[in-house]
Structure 1
Amino acid sequence: MTPNPPGATQAIDAASVDAAIQSRLSARAFLPTPVSRDTLEHILQVAARAPSGTNTQPWKVYVLQGPSRDRLVDKVCAAHDALRADPSLADQYREAYDYYPTQWVSPYIDRRRENGWGLYGLLGIGKGDKDKMHAQHQRNFRFFDAPVGLMFTIDKIMGRGSLVDYGMFLQNIMIAARAQGLHTCPQAAWNGFARIILPHIGAGESEMLVCGMALGHADPDDKVNGFITPRESVASFTHWLG
């Protein structure tokens, strides 16, 4: 089926668009099945139609597969272990921007707690089980075994509005991946290890890490991929003005 050209008034198959969006989830277990470069290039080409202020297109993408992926996994997992052993190292691993608020308030803290309790409860990880929590958190730094890791950077000179643009680009990647039968997991967990990641991927000194992403074929037999987060109703977040 030929896709609609830019500017077309309606998608050819609106139900498929809805299905791609509604079936997206943050997969936390992947199969080792490889993803071809052609497929990845197609996803990125589609995603690049994301809007951006004055068409600045502020995204830069680094694709990690094979040895480059594995080396980064080893480096960051080692740093993550070292940080646990010596919390004073935290000053070396600071995020370049605040992804989360410095002070949590309702309803956001309530949703965060519900998410954590739901995920860790499914995995059988109790509140005080620090070893299992550490191991599960480190799954992030193994890309949840996905064969493809993506790192996204932005030039530091760009304003906060460009992060809004970036979010639309990232969402496009995730939806375009669903159209190819693939799943993803966007990951801000990597951000604190930017000092390791940026040199590894060859990013310039002017670049800031935005986030990482795991991409591949989700493991349908792993129970963690049955964890579906709830969403608020339209009525709860919408104000109709007439």
Structure 2
Amino acid sequence: MAQVSTVVHDAASVHAAIESRFSCRAFLRDKPVPRHIIAELLSLASRAPSGTNCQPWKVYVLQGASRDALADKVCAAHDAAYANPALAAENTEEYDYYPTQWKSPFIDRRRENGWGLYGLLGIAKGEKEKMHAQHQRNYRFFDAPVGLMFTVDRAMGRGSLLDYGSFLQNLMVAARAHGLHTCPQAAWNPFAKIILPLIGATADEMLVCGMSLGYADESALINTFHTPREPVSGFTHWLD
């Protein structure tokens, strides 16, 4: 069927897929995701728009031994930097995901998110060891059986990161159609020097982010944490 004439009859399911997407932080490790489903999701994600159809995405899928080996390496580096903060300088992001100088309302939302999550888990302000342990859950893919790493060619401009956002959103929404959940993770970015050689990326590639993919652990307390959104009236200006 031609794209221009395709009719979406079940709008409610489309809305539900979007609205039920959240950053899942506890997965069922022992419930694998079939390879053909992962391939289908990536095919759907590739329908994302990109400037002049450059399609700048490149994906590495980690399962089993490759997933565990990457997790072990990055967790070791994360622990080392915690024990000796001077080592943190060895692990830096290649692009600024967050601002160097925060301001309202963004810093307020960030704080609300952080303390809301830690509060749910019973982690009080100043409990650094518990915060470190929770942060390190990122580097175990929150127990998801599938880890994804996304790279972009260094020759591409910043617009390719905009294209990548569309690709990632397609992937996360499409996952919901199979009962899967995801967690997009910029937390991996500082460890690009460790990650890129391990996954076989070339020197021409830059790490964009990682992602956890799998079936959610519905019994996990942390998966009851859902972030609020500003109303349309808070971010929209209507011009007549």
Counterparts in 2 of 1:118 and 1:161: CA distance versus 1, 3 Å: same
Amino acid across the alignment from 2:42: L
Q: Deviations over 1:169-222 (max 9, x none)?
A: 000000000111100000000000000000000000000000000000000000
Q: Secondary structure at the match of 1:221?
A: coil
Q: Distance in 1 between matches of 2:126 and 2:7?
A: 51
In structure 2, the residue matched to 1:64 is 62
Aligned-pair CA distance for 1:18: 0.4
Q: Deviations over 1:122-171 (max 9, x none)?
A: 00000110010000000000000000000000001100001000000000
Same amino acid, percent of matched pairs: 71
Q: Choose from 170, 194, 213 the match for 2:168.
A: 170
Q: Choose from 6, 14, 18 the match for 2:3.
A: 6
In structure 2, the residue matched to 1:18 is 15
In structure 1, the residue matched to 2:49 is 51
- Structure 2 unaligned spans of 5+: none
Q: Distance in 2 between matches of 1:82 and 1:138?
A: 12
Q: Does 1:216 align with 2:205?
A: no
CA RMSD, 1 decimal: 0.9
Amino acid across the alignment from 1:18: H
Aligned-pair CA distance for 1:10: 3.1
Q: Choose from 211, 214, 227 the match for 2:225.
A: 227
Q: Secondary structure at the match of 1:151?
A: strand
In structure 2, the residue matched to 1:146 is 144
Aligned-pair CA distance for 1:8: 3.4
Q: Distance in 2 between matches of 1:11 and 1:161?
A: 29
Q: Distance in 1 between matches of 2:5 and 2:200?
A: 38
Q: Within 5 Å, which residues of 2 pair with 1:1-242?
A: 6-32=3-29, 33-242=31-240
Q: TM-score, normalised by structure 2?
A: 0.98
Q: Distance in 2 between matches of 1:217 and 1:204?
A: 31
Amino acid across the alignment from 1:174: M
Q: Secondary structure at the match of 1:137?
A: helix
Amino acid across the alignment from 2:236: T
Amino acid across the alignment from 1:208: M
Q: Secondary structure at the match of 1:26?
A: coil
Aligned-pair CA distance for 1:5: 5.2
Q: Distance in 2 between matches of 1:17 and 1:167?
A: 18
Q: Distance in 2 between matches of 1:238 and 1:132?
A: 39
- Structure 1 unaligned spans of 5+: none
Q: Secondary structure at the match of 2:210?
A: strand
Q: Distance in 2 between matches of 1:91 and 1:124?
A: 30
Q: Deviations over 1:86-106 (max 9, x none)?
A: 111122101000000000000
Q: Distance in 1 between matches of 2:57 and 2:3?
A: 20
Q: Distance in 2 between matches of 1:78 and 1:56?
A: 36
Aligned-pair CA distance for 1:11: 1.4
Amino acid across the alignment from 1:8: S
Q: Distance in 2 between matches of 1:5 and 1:91?
A: 52
